Amino acid sequence: MPAAGALPANIHCAHDYEDLARQALEPAVFAHLAGGAGRDVAVRNNRAAFEALKITPRVLRDLKAGSTRLSLGGEARPHPIWLGPVAFQALFHAGAEVETARAAAAVGAGLVASTLSSVTLEEIAAAAGPDRWFQLYVQPAREATLDLVRRAEAAGYRALVVTVDAPVHAPGLTSLRAGFRGGQASANLAGWTAPEAAPAPGESRVFQGLMPAAPTWADIDWLRAQTALPLWLKGVMHPDDARAALAAGVDGLVVSNHGGRELDSAPSSLSALPPVRAAVGESFPLLFDGGIRCGEDVFKAIALGADGVMLGRLQAWALAAAGALGVGHMIKLLREELEVCMALAGCVDLADIRRAEVRAETWAGKEGPC
Amino acid sequence: MPAAGALPANIHCAHDYEDLARQALEPAVFAHLAGGAGRDVAVRNNRAAFEALKITPRVLRDLKAGSTRLSLGGEARPHPIWLGPVAFQALFHAGAEVETARAAAAVGAGLVASTLSSVTLEEIAAAAGPDRWFQLYVQPAREATLDLVRRAEAAGYRALVVTVDAPVHAPGLTSLRAGFRGGQASANLAGWTAPEAAPAPGESRVFQGLMPAAPTWADIDWLRAQTALPLWLKGVMHPDDARAALAAGVDGLVVSNHGGRELDSAPSSLSALPPVRAAVGESFPLLFDGGIRCGEDVFKAIALGADGVMLGRLQAWALAAAGALGVGHMIKLLREELEVCMALAGCVDLADIRRAEVRAETWAGKEGPC
Amino acid sequence: MPAAGALPANIHCAHDYEDLARQALEPAVFAHLAGGAGRDVAVRNNRAAFEALKITPRVLRDLKAGSTRLSLGGEARPHPIWLGPVAFQALFHAGAEVETARAAAAVGAGLVASTLSSVTLEEIAAAAGPDRWFQLYVQPAREATLDLVRRAEAAGYRALVVTVDAPVHAPGLTSLRAGFRGGQASANLAGWTAPEAAPAPGESRVFQGLMPAAPTWADIDWLRAQTALPLWLKGVMHPDDARAALAAGVDGLVVSNHGGRELDSAPSSLSALPPVRAAVGESFPLLFDGGIRCGEDVFKAIALGADGVMLGRLQAWALAAAGALGVGHMIKLLREELEVCMALAGCVDLADIRRAEVRAETWAGKEGPC
Amino acid sequence: MPAAGALPANIHCAHDYEDLARQALEPAVFAHLAGGAGRDVAVRNNRAAFEALKITPRVLRDLKAGSTRLSLGGEARPHPIWLGPVAFQALFHAGAEVETARAAAAVGAGLVASTLSSVTLEEIAAAAGPDRWFQLYVQPAREATLDLVRRAEAAGYRALVVTVDAPVHAPGLTSLRAGFRGGQASANLAGWTAPEAAPAPGESRVFQGLMPAAPTWADIDWLRAQTALPLWLKGVMHPDDARAALAAGVDGLVVSNHGGRELDSAPSSLSALPPVRAAVGESFPLLFDGGIRCGEDVFKAIALGADGVMLGRLQAWALAAAGALGVGHMIKLLREELEVCMALAGCVDLADIRRAEVRAETWAGKEGPC
């Protein structure tokens, strides 16, 4: 474990860190983290999709050689759990992203550092293990975007993950009502300022004010030409967009509805996995983000087409409760929950999970003449 | 903005005006507005239909030229939001319909003035912009109906909207139990009285007492012949009635279950949109009314076939909370919520919304041999 | 109105009598009436079926000649509402079945007097109008059954309604837990006692103890031969049983799950209507019992195949609250609620209701390329 | 009845013993018994499956010869109720499994003694009737397993029931949070200790630590060759596993998700019955376990393919409340509840139940032109 200190008591599973975080955080920060877009319908719906799906147990298989290992994009990994990009982690712990990076290295989890981090990407890299990716928000000015790319390359990040599902940030009512104050500054963007375009009279603040700064497929084409790093898109939910991404030469996709934080009427992330997997083919690298709380959830996401999963809120809760020690512990718990689920479902490896029976329980019943 | 005064604090979205209205109104009036027919099943069901539908996000489209503009019946409009007919607005604000009319003009919303208004249609017209329609309740005496039509023509109303779904007014239990006292008088109908027909012994108060005064298709034919104004019917839910309206030479339809205030077992207004749109064809003018609370709702109604939406309770809540200023503010918020939703769903205009993927999330799951 | 006294205040609809009855009755009696078999699942399910169904409004039809009249088995009736057999009405009002009978006569409702009545069938007949039927529980001894039949014939009852769904009375937990004390004696059966058969060791109290006294198809054949009165069966839920009843020469059926008081896992009464109607053909006399609370419910039952409906709990609540006056008032309210619903659904008569669109609202949504 | 003492008052049905047990047990023990794996989703889902299914009543059949008798594997039984294996019954009553065994003998219920019992299998056998089976947990060492088999044979157990669904015991949060302390020792395994294998660095505690001790199909083949006793597998949920069991020469199967105590996302036990029955054919011995609370539940399980049912929590609740007397009384109540349900559904025997109409209520409704 990378950090001094003791593990919290009474943690029986990875999700138990939520309760500790509730105690550790200011209510406004906890509410901001918990809430999503609008009235949190998408947040709840992400969970409902997991709860609706059942895993059929299988028995008496020989699982002595079982493992959660995977190989993705040519790199071997001990388990399919990533720490997804979570913005401004100083909100949750004084050590911010440095703590998270140390935990990721300690437990073999992939780290995805956010553009919107409380410390610089170089500081994160210094604390992280070699398995680190950089999440990129395309900036209004291409030179700003390119600066981030070059710095990420220089700091040894192994892939770029472009978030494409947040052209505008819709305010979440839970966060607003709790009095959360935004305005956190990204350490990576110090020196770059991009004032919102001023729409002319009769123009729209959204379309003519904000959309000129939002990334388009043309930006992806441009970015593809700027770097040799593997390029991922995060936030794809529709199979047609997945196909377009493949055509654009992207190396991997993250199916995500941004944790329910963008479009309150969005379908669950989980429901988008099967059609996106079908669109990209069986072997294309595909990660999942949105609603993971326990090992059975990881199992379900993999069964429905993901190669691995990213954690958002789970990560922030553990960070808030116990820093690097908490994040590392949470991942170990989650991985073991996944292993137990695999054992009960008779799956010796992740490929077995992909073939497992995972579906909603439906009852049509039977008729008969009695 | 047309009115002096300050905007209320803590309004984060259009729907937030409901809470302010609850504080501003007498409980009996608030309950009367909130309630519907019977036990409010239809009111709740109108909302459930919206909540069941999901909008699939789309990414990386170029939306710089985005707009909510539309053209309907040959008239260009900046956005698809109408202020629907709401009766007796003096219940909600001392300025009554005059406030509403000024707000509509200020924010480019279509105004539909009710026959049952607290001030006369001429007073409303004086405060309104040019985009004003008149909602017509067919009166028991044809001369009374014709008088309303001629006055509306003279006052510059550009269309007649005949409400056809309220041949009887079924009492709502929420309103009755809250002690709401009806009996408000229409300023437009001063001088006209139409006592209920007295059914003979063995006859029905409903069928022989009230139905002789209720409009029929013959009244629509008669009305069509009396005026050159565009003629709309409001309250159509069945595709066969929509086809009959087309055959009768009607210029537009409003799909509506009267905000759940007539038949407590009515299907949701939203569920009636696709079959009615299919019945009338892609280009026939079709508006929607019933349950709109936020911009994502407007998006869904348009996706399912509406050209635009009418607001009822949202309008009354904003009026109660802050008069013309509130109504105008509410519409600006709602329009921007629609624009954000369009940006997240990758829709550059309303025609794009019509093609968007909007459907209930269903989980059949997958099976496999594992 | 047949009784002195004033109508209760604050009754806005037929179902409002439930609240008054709660105040008027001992809690144990109210609970006994409210509860069903087992854990009241069937009671709630009877209601859920009504709530799931929606009625599509229709507009602009000419309904001046509207009416709730029907003709059933050759007899004309003003409306399709019956007072079903409710046992031991002295539990609810000192006047017992005499009050109910007077109300039925006053408002033109069909009366079905129970074998298990607090006063004799002759006393009921003396208070009732000519439209009276007798509900028959087949007795262990055929001479007892025949005695009831002959007395019913002599007292001018016009039909026999044999209850066939209660071969055993399963105790309801709601009633038992509320401390309801059974053991009420039927005024009609004074002098007849039928001790339960004593099962031999190893035999079953249910099968060998009670079933020898339960009616079978052979008893129906026997009964058919004993009387010229129209013979109805009450409690048929399966289409095969409906067909068997037709083959046995029965004159009418009541689809019913005994108000949810027999089998807690029974399907809703309403769900059984369409298959039973399909089995017996369009013109066979078919009544419905189970969960009616308002006029829209009556509409739904008729739309799904019933010729009319029987009231159980509504009847007892009104009786408890206000005797004959309450029962009559409740029926008048219910009938007018039905008429309003017909007006809003564009139905001029009961045959129109049978053709109306009544179905659960389902949302499959739409897909599109946007 | 085998035990002194009085029956508890206020027991109206078998399930009422739960409330008495809540009073009788330490909260931590009650919570441990009530809870399942993870967050008790599977426990609740087992119940939801029963509640979703409806039984169509049938009428007027001759049931005087009715009976709950069955013949299974060549042995005649008075009713289809088994006392399933429940571990460490000293937690619930000082008399532990001896009380349960006496009750089983008194009321003709099949007894399945657990490997994990508080008293030895020989002590249980001494108290039990001849209808006793032994539940076998395959031990890490084959000599330990064989020792259990030989002792069970010597003690007159008539079948072995190998539990195959618990290769690891996932901790249930309800139990953990209530502070339940595990570590109860099996009286049968005194002298045998099997320390968990120590996984090497980089290995998994689950796969390399626990799975080497978990049974596989090879163990079933070995076991089949060691004993002439009928061999059952308990915990089969997938039809492919059922087919594999048949191929391995197994004599019977118990469809079970271990009362929801293993995989929190498991489908309900009930939902697995139809596919497993279809896989093994109509006459193969098949029992059911998971969620039985009342006689209608027993009926449903048999209708969906079971030959009989095992009780877990019901057994422990009755034991906790009133020892052998309680367990015997509970079974008598449950059997009579089954008989009443059979009478109301018109079923004269268990074969009739298999043909009964049992299905979820669904409402598609009807459409019409009105």
Residue of chain B with shortest Cα separation from A351: B370
At A141, phi and psi to the nearest 5?
Answer: -100, 130
How many Å apart are CA A289 and CA A259, to the nearest integer? 7
By Cβ distance, the residue of A233, A237, A359 closest to B367 is A359
Q: With contact defined as beta carbons under 8 Å apart, do B190 and B281 qualify?
A: no
With 0-12 / 13-18 / 19 or more C-beta atoms within 10 angstroms meaning exposed / middle / buried, residue A191 is exposed
Give residue C362's pLDDT: 76
β-strands B70-72, B75-77 pairing: antiparallel
Residue of chain A with shortest Cα separation from D57: A370
Contact C363 B49 (CB under 8 A): yes
- Report the alpha-carbon angle A216-A218-A221, nearest 5: 120
- Asked whether residue D8 is assigned to any structural domain, the reply reads no
How many Å apart are CA B291 and CA D366, to the nearest integer? 25
Q: 10 Å Cβ neighbour count for D42?
A: 28
- Asked whether residue A289 is assigned to any structural domain, the reply reads yes
Instruction: For residue D20, give both structure tokens.
Output: 């008495």
Which SS3 state, helix, strand or coil, does residue C161 take? strand
Give residue C3's pLDDT: 41
**pLDDT beyond 50 at C94:** yes
B258 is catalytic: yes
Which SS3 state, helix, strand or coil, does residue A55 take? strand
Q: With contact defined as beta carbons under 8 Å apart, do C42 and C36 qualify?
A: yes
Maximum alpha-carbon separation in chain A: 79
β-strands C358-360, C53-55 pairing: antiparallel
Q: 10 Å Cβ neighbour count for D122?
A: 14
For the residues A223-247, what does the mean pLDDT come to?
Answer: 98
Q: Give the domain range for residue A256.
A: 14-182+208-358
Q: With contact defined as beta carbons under 8 Å apart, do A146 and A138 qualify?
A: no
Identity at A252, one-letter amino acid code? G
Q: Of residues A15, A32, A79, A258, which has the active-site annotation?
A: A258
Which SS3 state, helix, strand or coil, does residue D111 take? strand
**Chain C interface mutation, best of B58, B174, B206, B362, highest count of C Cβ atoms under 10 Å:** B206
Percentage of chain B modeled with pLDDT above 90: 89
**pLDDT beyond 80 at A184:** yes
**pLDDT beyond 60 at D49:** yes
How many Å apart are CA B23 and CA D132, to the nearest integer? 70
Q: Of residues D15, D79, D93, D258, which has the active-site annotation?
A: D258
At C168, phi and psi to the nearest 5?
Answer: -135, 155
Name chain B contacts of A51, Cβ cutoff 8 Å: none
Give helix C17-24 / helix C27-34 axis angle, nearest 10°.
140
Q: What's chain C's Rg over C-alpha atoms?
A: 21
Identity at D328, one-letter amino acid code? G
Contact A56 D237 (CB under 8 A): yes
Chains touching A, CB cut-off 8 Å, 3+ pairs = B, D
Contact A370 D268 (CB under 8 A): no
Residue of chain C with shortest Cα separation from D347: C207
Higher pLDDT, B208 or B199: B208
* Helix intervals (H) in chain A: 17-24, 27-34, 41-52, 96-107, 121-127, 142-154, 173-177, 217-226, 239-247, 269-280, 295-303, 313-344, 350-355
- Asked whether residue D109 is assigned to any structural domain, the reply reads yes
Contact C54 B38 (CB under 8 A): no
**pLDDT beyond 90 at B117:** yes
Contact D265 A300 (CB under 8 A): yes
Give residue A369's pLDDT: 41
By Cβ distance, the residue of C13, C294, C340 closest to B168 is C340
Give residue C179's pLDDT: 94
Instruction: For residue D252, give both structure tokens.
Output: 């019977």
Instruction: For residue B329, give both structure tokens.
Output: 């503010």
Maximum alpha-carbon separation in chain C: 80
pLDDT band at B369 (very low <50, low <70, confident <90, very high): very low
A198-212, B276-290, C292-306: the lowest-pLDDT one: A198-212
**Chain D interface mutation, best of C205, C263, C341, C363, highest count of D Cβ atoms under 10 Å:** C263
pLDDT band at B154 (very low <50, low <70, confident <90, very high): very high
pLDDT band at D311 (very low <50, low <70, confident <90, very high): very high
Q: Would the CA dihedral through C59, C60, C62, C66 be positive or negative?
A: positive
Give residue D370's pLDDT: 37
How many Å apart are CA D359 and CA D339, to the nearest integer? 20
- Asked whether residue C47 is assigned to any structural domain, the reply reads yes
- Asked whether residue A51 is assigned to any structural domain, the reply reads yes
Contact A272 B56 (CB under 8 A): yes
Q: How far is B29 from chain A (nearest CA, A)?
A: 26
Give residue D191's pLDDT: 84
Residues near A324 by beta carbon (within 8 Å), at least 6 away in sequence:
A1, A2, A3, A95, A99, A100, A102, A103, A106
Give residue C366's pLDDT: 64
Instruction: For residue C276, give both structure tokens.
Output: 């039973």
Q: 10 Å Cβ neighbour count for A204?
A: 23
**pLDDT beyond 60 at C369:** no
How many Å apart are CA A159 and CA A132, to the nearest integer? 8
Residue of chain C with shortest Cα separation from B237: C57
B289-329, pLDDT tens digit by residue?
Answer: 999 999 999 999 999 999 999 999 999 999 999 999 999 99
Segment (H or E) for B145:
helix B142-154
Q: Is some CB atom of chain A closer than 8 A to the CB atom of D243? A: no
pLDDT band at A2 (very low <50, low <70, confident <90, very high): very low
β-strands D75-77, D70-72 pairing: antiparallel
Q: 10 Å Cβ neighbour count for C367?
A: 12
- Asked whether residue D203 is assigned to any structural domain, the reply reads no
In chain D, at which residue ranges do the beta strands (DSSP E only) sit?
A: 53-55, 70-72, 75-77, 81-83, 110-113, 132-136, 160-163, 231-236, 252-256, 286-289, 308-311, 358-360
- The structure's pTM equals 0.96
C203-213, pLDDT tens digit by residue?
Answer: 999 999 999 99
With 0-12 / 13-18 / 19 or more C-beta atoms within 10 angstroms meaning exposed / middle / buried, residue D110 is buried
Q: Is some CB atom of chain B closer than 8 A to the CB atom of C108? A: no
Q: Among B231, B234, B239, which residue's Cα sits nearest to residue B277?
A: B239
Give helix A239-247 / helix A269-280 axis angle, nearest 10°.
40
Tell me which DSSP letter residue D6 carries.
-
pLDDT band at C73 (very low <50, low <70, confident <90, very high): confident
Contact D56 C303 (CB under 8 A): no
Name chain C contacts of D344, Cβ cutoff 8 Å: 165, 167-168, 170, 262-263, 266
Q: How far is B34 from chain C (nearest CA, A)?
A: 18
Tokens 């909510």 locate to B68
- Asked whether residue A370 is assigned to any structural domain, the reply reads no
In C, residues 313-332, which contact D (CB 8 Å cutoff)?
none
Tokens 């496999």 locate to B368
Give residue A43's pLDDT: 97
Give residue D369's pLDDT: 40
Residues near C190 by beta carbon (within 8 Å), at least 6 away in sequence:
none
Contact D176 A12 (CB under 8 A): yes
Q: Is some CB atom of chain C closer than 8 A to the CB atom of D65? A: yes
Looking up residue B264, the CATH number of its domain turns out to be 3.20.20.70
Contact B207 C64 (CB under 8 A): yes
pLDDT band at C370 (very low <50, low <70, confident <90, very high): very low
**pLDDT beyond 60 at D1:** no
Instruction: For residue A144, give both structure tokens.
Output: 């700003």
Q: What is the mean pLDDT of chain B?
A: 94
Percentage of chain A modeled with pLDDT above 90: 89
A248-262, B214-228, B297-311, C183-197: the lowest-pLDDT one: C183-197
Name chain D contacts of C356, Cβ cutoff 8 Å: 368, 370
Q: Is some CB atom of chain A closer than 8 A to the CB atom of D163? A: no
Instruction: For residue A282, give both structure tokens.
Output: 């069986």
Q: Would the CA dihedral through D19, D23, D24, D28 be positive or negative?
A: positive
- Asked whether residue C1 is assigned to any structural domain, the reply reads no
B67-71, B119-123, B234-238, C5-9: the lowest-pLDDT one: C5-9
Question: Which CA distances in Å does C130 have to C327, C333, D92, D310?
Answer: 18, 23, 64, 57
B252-277, pLDDT tens digit by residue?
Answer: 999 999 999 999 999 999 999 999 99
For the residues D42-62, what does the mean pLDDT come to?
Answer: 97
**pLDDT beyond 90 at B225:** yes
Task: Report the domain count for chain D.
Answer: 1
Instruction: For residue C6, give both structure tokens.
Output: 């004033």
Q: Is some CB atom of chain B closer than 8 A to the CB atom of C161? A: no
